[in-house]
Structure 1
Amino acid sequence: MVKRESARQAWDRRAAGYDRAGDRMERLTIGDSREWICARARGRTLEVAVGTGRNLSRYGPDVDLVGLDLSPNMLAVARSRSEVLGRRVELREGEAEHLPFPDASFDTVVCTLAVCAVGDRNAALTEMRRVLRPGGRLLLLDHVERRWLRGRPADLALRLGFVVEARGRLRLGLIERLAAWKPA
């Protein structure tokens, strides 16, 4: 619990300047990956680690969006962004490893550039699978980091039984995006 509180405080401190700090680097590294991910979202969609809401403008109008994040300050930025965009979104505080939703309650689960920040990525991906309906879609975008030597998020998702719909690597394999579905 101490680690989680420490992580929450760290993200709270970064919230105000997070978007400015990441804009240029993101343009150079992930290209159109946020659009690639969000264009595939359908129906009731959960974005795990919604952060400041960088993806909010990229979802289609048919997406009923719920965003979850550990940091209240990140959620405050996302809330402001949703108001400016006129985008209706339910924003909730919570942990990726313990999603506060019933089984099979979402058509799509999205997580962009955030599995790296989760303490227990296996638990987080297991929770994402749990809240997806059979036939539901998991959409991941992540970057390489040291922990991935034991398995990238996409590999972990496949071990949990997800079936690949589309998978690609960019920037010499440093960036990976995955669209997969949960079998019935």
Structure 2
Amino acid sequence: MNYLSDSYVEETRFGFWFLRSHTWQHHVLRVAINDLRGLFSEAPPANPVLLDAGCGQGKSFGHLRQTFAPQRLIGIDADPHSLELSAEEAARQGLQVELIGSDCATLNVPDASVDLLFCHQTFHHLVEQEKALVEFYRVLKPGGYLLFAESTEAYIDTWVIRWLFRHPMHVQKSAAQYLGMIREQGFEFGERNVSYPYLWWSRSKDFGLLERFGLLKPKPFGQREETLVNVVARKPLEGEI
């Protein structure tokens, strides 16, 4: 496969299958999009141009349409086969989606042309994360929003995830480190705009099985290493910079 990024880390066969599963669509994607919608301090832009950075097989398209009603939906991915599947998914749902083969570190999108940039479970796959954030900031309009939802190193660096999936381990980060990167790039957000979901599928080591059977007491927020972080971060208006 000729990927559109020199640093692309190929997913496992299991991982590729999982990204089109019911579990992924309804217990991961849908939940994340609903959570991100609730993190806005004000109403999202009406009829936005929405870019899905790392759209994969297009399973996010229907949820994004239902939640944000974009006038224009753009999907970007560095895997040509995933883009083919995204086109099939868009056609199946009767959606008009512009699909672009591109590396997130070199987005083929004009400056200040996007209202909402959705980056869900993509960033931990990227080797050139700093460059990707620069690109996210560039393509967003002033006042536009980055919708960022990620698994952290505490989850990615567990035996079961390392066994089932493939990731560039040297770039994995904590929730605090991801938030720091986003803020250093120039994005603005407050505590109201951040969440740390503690979902069963993201529990490190055992998917929360010990907790579910009452063999382990869940650690409260502040006493555990977070495995997920979601943030809605705003690019300031020009007069606010």
With normalisation by structure 1, the TM-score equals: 0.83
Q: Give the residue type in structure 1 aligned to 2:8.
A: A
* Aligned partner of 1:163 among 175, 188, 191: 188
Q: Which moved more, 1:57-66 or 1:98-107?
A: 57-66
Count of aligned residue pairs for this structure pair: 181
Q: Give 5+ residue unaligned stretches, structure 2.
A: 158-171, 199-223
CA distance in 2, matches of 1:70, 1:148: 22
- Aligned partners of 2:53 and 2:119 also within 8 Å: yes
Counterparts of 1:39-78 in structure 2, within 5 Å, are 42=45, 43-60=48-65, 62-63=69-70, 64-78=72-86
Q: Which moved more, 1:117-126 or 1:40-49?
A: 40-49
The two structures, once aligned, show a CA RMSD in angstroms of 3.0
Q: Which has the higher strand share?
A: 1
- Aligned partners of 2:57 and 2:82 also within 8 Å: yes
With normalisation by structure 2, the TM-score equals: 0.65
Q: Following TM superposition, by how much is the alpha carbon of 1:134 offset from its aligned partner in structure 2, in angstroms?
A: 0.4
CA distance in 1, matches of 2:123, 2:36: 15
Counterparts of 1:2-81 in structure 2, within 5 Å, are 4-5=5-6, 7=8, 10-11=10-11, 17-20=17-20, 23-24=22-23, 32-37=31-36, 42=45, 43-60=48-65, 62-63=69-70, 64-81=72-89
Identity of aligned residues (%): 22
Q: Following TM superposition, by how much is the alpha carbon of 1:36 offset from its aligned partner in structure 2, in angstroms?
A: 2.9
> Which secondary structure does the structure 2 equivalent of 1:60 belong to?
helix
- Aligned partners of 2:76 and 2:102 also within 8 Å: yes
Q: Following TM superposition, by how much is the alpha carbon of 1:35 offset from its aligned partner in structure 2, in angstroms?
A: 2.8
Q: Following TM superposition, by how much is the alpha carbon of 1:51 offset from its aligned partner in structure 2, in angstroms?
A: 0.5
Q: Which moved more, 1:45-54 or 1:167-176?
A: 167-176
Q: Following TM superposition, by how much is the alpha carbon of 1:7 offset from its aligned partner in structure 2, in angstroms?
A: 2.5
Q: Give the residue type in structure 2 aligned to 1:133.
A: K
Q: Which runs of 4+ in 1 moved over 3 A?
A: 2-6, 11-16, 22-31, 37-42, 149-152
Q: Structure 1 residues 87, 12: CA separation in 2 closer, same or farther (over 3 Å shift)?
A: farther
Larger Rg: 2
Q: Following TM superposition, by how much is the alpha carbon of 1:78 offset from its aligned partner in structure 2, in angstroms?
A: 1.0
